[in-house]
Amino acid sequence: MKKFIILASLILSTGSAFADGMTFSPSSDGFVVTTDYQRLKAVLADSVKKSKSEICHAPDSTSYERTKNYTAYPTLDDCLNSSDKARLPKNYTRKD
């Protein structure tokens, strides 16, 4: 038990981890381990998807869930400014 407490204290005080891409955060139950994958998944969940046909799909667009091959962008403006051919889907009204 002492080894675990010392290890947990070390991790929480330094913020370091055993593997790259892992962080430890204090919580009411001790600490929470977050991986780069979990952070990436959270970011991509609300990202704008630019399909291979240069169409920028916002999370509220009708084709968003169907778009599988895409490049992710943090905002709709970033996606639209990424190339000269980037555009919004037909019949999509932007919600700013």
Question: Looking at the predicted structure, is the pLDDT value of residue 9 above 70?
Answer: no
- For 68, the token pair is 């599988």
Give pLDDT, residue 42: 58
Mean pLDDT of 35-57: 77
**Total domain count, the chain:** 2
Assess whether 23 and 50 both reside in one domain: no
Assess whether 82 and 52 both reside in one domain: yes
Judged on CB neighbours under 10 Å (0-12, 13-18, 19+), 52 is: exposed
Dihedral angle, C-alpha 73, 77, 82, 88, nearest 10 °: 90
26 membership: H or E segment, kind and range: strand 22-27
Q: Residue 21 is part of which domain span?
A: 2-40
Question: Which tops the pLDDT comparison, 7 or 53?
Answer: 53
